[in-house]
Structure 1
Amino acid sequence: MPQVAAAPTPPSSRPSLISTDIDFDRPGLQSGHLRLPYSHDRSGYGHIPVPIAVLNQGPGPTLLLTGGNHGDEFEGPIALMKLMRRLPQLQIQGRLIVIPGLNFPALMQGTRTSPIDQGNLNRAFPGQRNGSLTEMLAHYVDSVLFPLADVAFDLHAGGASTHYLPTVLAAWPSDPAQADTYSRLVQHLGAPRTLVMDLLGEDRTFGAAADRHGLLFFCGEFGGQAVCNPQGLALAETCIERLMQGMGLLPPTLDALPPEATHLYRVEGDAHYVFAPVPGLFEPAFQLGDEVQAGQIAGWIHDPTQPGAPATEIRFKGAGLALCIRALARVEAGDCLGHLASRVPAGQV
């Protein structure tokens, strides 16, 4: 009988093209790189080395810690670089996977998106094996790293365009057993503010992909303005430490927190966002941390081409805590000028 050739394996189901010198199952501490293939005019067989460290010390949970998903957000990368320097002395029960600059080209350029392919890594999941560099990174995280992890913590900030009141972002799982564990971890982190995430159908993010894998996922907005916010950095470092302790990776050495140590907030859709209706220069009338009332003036947009014309007045539609504000005065129509969040009553997550 004539032999029938086997159907080719779809590219999406083949192993990632990203390789590494790290053996994730090997006990002990390893520092190395993810080798992101990059063939270009100056280097036909080149790759981009993305630093990674893994500490594996016996049975226990696996925590994936990432920063630099957006390259202009620096509190996360700095917190994780400081953690990497502690790894030789750290005694854990389980495994830590630490990548301070996940979208490494963007981090080195200080830009939100990759300077090579203009890809936004946090809108690229689940990625593509044979895609752009950013899609290949997303595919590696989705196909290799997520299956190894129990919990993922992706550290963010507002980047160059916005500034946040340092806040942990939490996404409650739908499974009741996981939800109880997750609620305990949220309280253990003890951030002054925890924003309950609503992905609103956006399924291309790191968090949405982590949820599809059944991981417990945390995020955070720890500052912004493309600077390192000292308060945000301190909160990020404390949350990392508390998360490791809450998972059982580290013994509980930090002081116990009282119930309701963190206040839960939620963004109530369009009513909590403020957008520029026209281009110009934005003059804000609020600050981070302000308690805003519906109808309150958010600011004005001045038109440099008509300096004698009245400024366009912007008002808030809803009420709440000013959690985010635009960091750049120059705006185009449609730019986000900031957003609010409202307290979530106890027991209504």
Structure 2
Amino acid sequence: MTSSPVWSDVNLDRSGRSCGYLRVPHSVNDSGYGWIPVPIIVLKNDDGPDVLLMAGNHGDEYEGQVLLMKLAQNLPVEHVRGRLIILPGVNAPAVAAGTRISPIDDGNLNRLFPGEPQGTPTHAIAHYIDSVLLPQVRFCFDFHSGGYSLEYIPAAHLVAPDDPDLRAEAIGFLNAFAMPNSILIEGLIGGGTRLLGSCQRLGVGHMSTELGGAGSFSVQAYRAAEQGLRRLLRHVGVLVDGIEDAAPKTRFFIRQPTRDFVYAEATGVFEAYVELGDTVEARTPAGAIHCTDTPWRDPQPVFFSHGGTVLCKRSPARAKIGDCLFVTGTPVGAQ
């Protein structure tokens, strides 16, 4: 594989606390030999597992960014057994702009794995994670929210591995993190171009989250995640701080497949009939889209194709054909 053009002023193998940047080459009119700074913090102490923590994969998802910044600022390196590699704002241009995708190249980082070393900056970031960081770690935890366009119930989620041992390990992450809700995704379409796909190919244990959304900051989700992160790090053995913190119970859901999400089939103002966490039945009304360019027409009704619990809903009231309006899941027992 072609070596990464990204380099860093941080020595990943140095003991102690190291802070600096991944330097992503970017040659433009006003900076011919320039680079994009992607902040990185490494905490290394004694023997133990290597763990990669990431947030800002999408720049408009804020709880995870704050979660990892505060962890990097406040965690004593003496409490680490092994190595923590922390990227609080991994898609740095998108983080700076507060947008889902990079304003530099329209790159959606979580759809570009394993990346291209000589591609656009977002491709280069994906390639560096895939070719340099992931081969060095045993676990990777990636913190997402719904972003500007979507809002989730506070949840951890994962694509459930087929292998029984790997599945048990992954369910252990969810039970240790213990968000109020845990979402299992079976048979994700297009998973090979996501961080998940690289983790699976390289044998790296993976878990992700959906910590609120709507372009805001969820206090409820953040507080649960702040406690859950330390439990998760103790669970995998990289945090040894002498604290015993019993995990609360988490509710498990199987998320409906992508094709069964509720989508807009008209353009206009969406009037939702239900809220996050509501229980719905198949073929019942989910809402209506009011067509503002032809206001004399009856609104376009929207229906749930499957029953279950509302896990996610669209945030902006304005919607167009093809926008996701709701995601539902089926409650299941403790895993």
| TM > 0.5 fold call | yes
- Tell me the SS of whatever aligns to 1:188: helix
After TM superposition, the structure 1 = structure 2 runs for residues 70-219 of structure 1, keeping only pairs within 5 Å, are: 70-88=58-76, 91-198=79-186, 199-219=188-208
Does residue 256 of structure 1 match 2:246?
A: yes
Task: Give yes or no for contact 1:64–1:151 (8 Å, CA) kept in 2.
Answer: yes
| Whole-Å separation in 2 of the counterparts to 1:344 and 1:236 | 22
Look up the match of 1:9. Answer: none
Does residue 57 of structure 1 match 2:45?
A: yes
* Runs of 4 or more consecutive aligned structure 1 residues displaced over 4 Å after TM superposition: none
* Identity fraction in percent: 39
For residue 175 of structure 1, report the CA deviation from its aligned partner: 3.8
Tell me the amino acid that sits aligned with residue 134 of structure 1: T
For residue 272 of structure 1, report the CA deviation from its aligned partner: 4.4
Look up the match of 2:209. Answer: 220
For these two proteins, the number of residue pairs brought into alignment is: 333
Look up the match of 2:228. Answer: 239
| Whole-Å separation in 2 of the counterparts to 1:89 and 1:203 | 34
For residue 193 of structure 1, report the CA deviation from its aligned partner: 1.1
Tell me the amino acid that sits aligned with residue 234 of structure 2: Q
CA offsets, 1:45-94, max 9 Å, x none?
10011111000001101111100000111111011111111134651111
Tell me the amino acid that sits aligned with residue 203 of structure 1: G
Look up the match of 1:319. Answer: 307
Look up the match of 1:15. Answer: 3
Structure-2 change in CA distance of 1:334 and 1:327 (3 Å)? same
Which structure's CA Rg is the greater one?
1
CA offsets, 1:15-69, max 9 Å, x none?
2100001111111110010001011000001001111100000110111110000
| Whole-Å separation in 2 of the counterparts to 1:136 and 1:255 | 39
Look up the match of 1:8. Answer: none
Task: Give yes or no for contact 1:272–1:319 (8 Å, CA) kept in 2.
Answer: no
Tell me the amino acid that sits aligned with residue 64 of structure 2: G
Q: Which segment drifts farther, 311-320 or 337-346?
A: 337-346
| Structure 2 portions without partners, runs of 5+ | none
TM-score calculated relative to the size of structure 1: 0.91
Tell me the amino acid that sits aligned with residue 277 of structure 2: G
TM-score calculated relative to the size of structure 2: 0.95
| Whole-Å separation in 2 of the counterparts to 1:89 and 1:177 | 31
- Tell me the SS of whatever aligns to 1:323: strand
Look up the match of 2:298. Answer: 310
Task: Give yes or no for contact 2:263–2:322 (8 Å, CA) kept in 1.
Answer: yes
Task: Give yes or no for contact 1:271–1:318 (8 Å, CA) kept in 2.
Answer: no
| Structure 1 portions without partners, runs of 5+ | 1-12
Alignment partner for residue 218 of structure 2, among 208, 229, 232? Answer: 229
